[in-house]
Amino acid sequence: MGKRRSTPASASAVSRLRDIKRKLRDRDWIGISIELAVVTLGILLAFQIDQWGQNRRQSREERQFLERMWRETSEAAQENEWVMTLHARFRRELIEGANALGDAAALARLASTPNVGCRAAVFPGLGFNNTSFQELSSSGRLNAISDPGLRAELRDVVSAQADAEAQRDNSFLLGLDSHRALEPYYVLGLDRNDNRTCRMDWPRLARDSRARNALMRASRLHTLMWTRRAYTRDMLALAHNRIACTLEKPDCRPTVQRIFRVRPRYDVIPPEALDDVERSAEMYNGS
């Protein structure tokens, strides 16, 4: 076997150690101090270069992460607002029906309108933002964000979404009783394109006390769901705006309009949010 060749760096280190040993023998304290200073400065410089490179990598990874979150919070907000409009629309239909129970003309008009009251037990889930933020939170990737305020806001998003999903599961189970009470009054059919149609037999329903109570229970469940989705909407708006401002995106705003200033009570819709319920219902143009 041949002798191992020494690299220039290792040869330099050996040479410097020999110089230090020689100066120790000669008690050349000034030379020793200079050598130690050079070695120390070299170590510090190497550490700083390594730290600078690591900071650059972290900064690049953080920006890539924020770019992804900027897109995802925007998509999640749109999906969340769409579901808000559904709950607001269903709630309004049920309340309209409950208010018309003593008015035969109003009941006949509602009975001729497609879908009014047919979706009392419909509690849509969210396909997109029920997964992305949960994944990010559980994987620890939120620690890649250097801004503690933004980390806190994204965790608030995760918490609000989890809370809304828990209420959705609960509302779905409670809504089964309402569905059973109302189902006998659904008039189902198919249109000329074989699409399913539904109308509610409101005049006959008005004579059933159990069905009337089911209307109010279903309305309250949609009220609860709208409230939770509305709070999630606020948390998404705050987080998205902070990300947009950090990345200097064109949708950065100096202030974010919120529906709730604090986490709302969930037994009623606060008076200041009633107009938002109506506006979110009007946003929905589907049937």
Q: Is the pLDDT of residue 193 over 80?
A: yes
Cβ of 209: how many Cβ atoms within 10 Å?
Answer: 9
Tell me the pLDDT band of 132, cut-offs 50, 70 and 90.
low
What per-residue confidence (pLDDT) applies to 285? 45
Judge if 83 and 167 occupy the same domain. Answer: yes
Burial 55-66 (b: 16+ CB within 10 A, else e): eeeeeeeeeebb
Helix (H), strand (E), coil (C) string for 166-203: HHHHHHHHHHHHHHHHHHHHEEEEECCCCCEEEEECHH
Alpha-carbon dihedral 126, 199, 96, 88, rounded to 10 degrees = 10
Looking at residue 42, its amino acid is G
d(CA 250, CA 240): 12
Position 128 scores a pLDDT of 59
Average pLDDT, the chain: 81
- Residue 189 phi/psi, 5° resolution? -165, -170
Q: Are 118 and 199 in contact (CB under 8 A)?
A: yes
Residue 286's pLDDT band (cuts 50, 70, 90): very low
- Using the predicted structure, report yes or no on whether residue 68 has a pLDDT greater than 80: yes
Higher pLDDT, 203 or 27: 203
Residues 16 and 73 in one domain: no
**CA end-to-end span of the chain:** 84
- In a shared domain, residues 16 and 123: no
* Contact assessment for residue 75 and residue 82, using Cβ atoms and an 8 Å cutoff: no
Let me know whether 267 and 149 are in one domain: yes
| pLDDT (0 to 100) of residue 202 | 96
Residue 162's pLDDT is 84
Of 39-53, 57-71, 126-140, 246-260, the least confident: 126-140
Evaluate if residue 62 carries a pLDDT over 80.
yes
Do residues 100 and 224 both lie within one domain?
Answer: yes
Residues 137 and 33 placed together within one structural domain of the fold: no
> Both 225 and 153 in a single domain?
yes
Coil, strand or helix: which one is 266?
Answer: coil
Q: Which two tokens stand for residue 179?
A: 């569905």
Identity (one letter) of the amino acid at 95?
I
Structure tokens that stand for 152 in this block: 């806190």
Q: What pLDDT is attached to residue 1?
A: 47
Asked, for residue 3, whether it belongs to a domain, the answer is: no
For residue range 212-263, list pLDDT tens digits in order. Answer: 999 999 998 998 899 999 999 999 999 999 999 999 999 999 999 888 888 8
Residue 57 lies in a domain: no
What integer pLDDT is reported at residue 8 of this predicted model?
A: 55
More confident residue, 96 or 19: 96
Tokens standing for residue 178: 């309402």
Q: Which range of residues forms the domain containing residue 237?
A: 65-283
Q: How many domains does the chain have?
A: 2
pLDDT digit string, tens, across residues 273-283: 666 666 665 65
